[in-house]
Amino acid sequence: MSQGTPICSLPTVIEAIQIFALIERGWLLEYDEVLESIAIEQKESPRNIRFHVDRRGRPAFIRLSEQWMSNIGSQ
């Protein structure tokens, strides 16, 4: 968001979360586990987290609101 990119590849976000969890917390998270967590968060906050789908209807990109990002960053 700070770089002006409003949308990001979902696999890129998931892999970044996995790397952060491993380095900072020592947690080894599975890809599907992270995807499910993001989907749960999206259901709770649909205006702040939006999925964009590919031609087959599968989530491929994610868009996060600036408000949600600033809330997460302050935690």
Can you give the pLDDT at residue 67?
Answer: 72
pTM, entire model: 0.75
Average pLDDT, the chain: 85
Cβ(14)–Cβ(38) below 8 Å:
yes
Answer yes or no: is 2 within a domain. no
Where does the chain have alpha helices with state H?
10-20, 31-44, 66-73
Domain count, the chain: 1
Mean pLDDT in residue range 56-67: 86
Answer yes or no: is 13 within a domain. yes
Residue span of the structural domain in which 16 resides: 8-73
Q: pLDDT for 25-47, tens place per residue?
A: 999 999 999 999 999 989 998 98
Can you give the pLDDT at residue 65?
Answer: 81
